[in-house]
Amino acid sequence: MAGTSSGKVTNIIINASNYLFFTAGTKTGSPACGNNNQWAINLGTAKGKSIYVMLLAAQTQDKTVSIYGNQTCNEWGDREDVLYGISE
């Protein structure tokens, strides 16, 4: 089962390896590998950059986002990969 969450963007972390971790509301339905409340995206990809822009815009405008997982943890071993997101 793939994870989902909906809420305000919080806890944005970018590490030295160019990966971004974030929280957006309470996450449910996560796979065993990403059974926590954070998501992971690779900022070295076009998809990762697009999602990052959406997250920053939503956070700046105090909007809610809905995040849908990919049911994998390939980007970072203990956080689920983002399939897509929607700014509401």
Q: pLDDT value at position 57?
A: 97
pTM of the predicted structure, to 2 decimals? 0.93
Count of CB atoms situated within 10 Å of the CB of 14? 13
Which percentage of the chain shows pLDDT scores above 90? 94
Task: Calculate mean pLDDT across residues 62-71.
Answer: 97
Q: pLDDT value at position 35?
A: 86
Size (the chain), residues: 88
The structural domains of the chain, with segments of one domain joined by +, span 4-87
Count of CB atoms situated within 10 Å of the CB of 68? 18
Q: What is the pLDDT of residues 4-16, one digit of tens each?
A: 999 999 999 999 9
What kind and span of H or E run contains 60?
helix 46-60
Give one DSSP letter per residue of 10-53, joined into a string.
EEEEE-TTSEEEEEES--BS--GGG-SS-EEEETTSHHHHHHHH
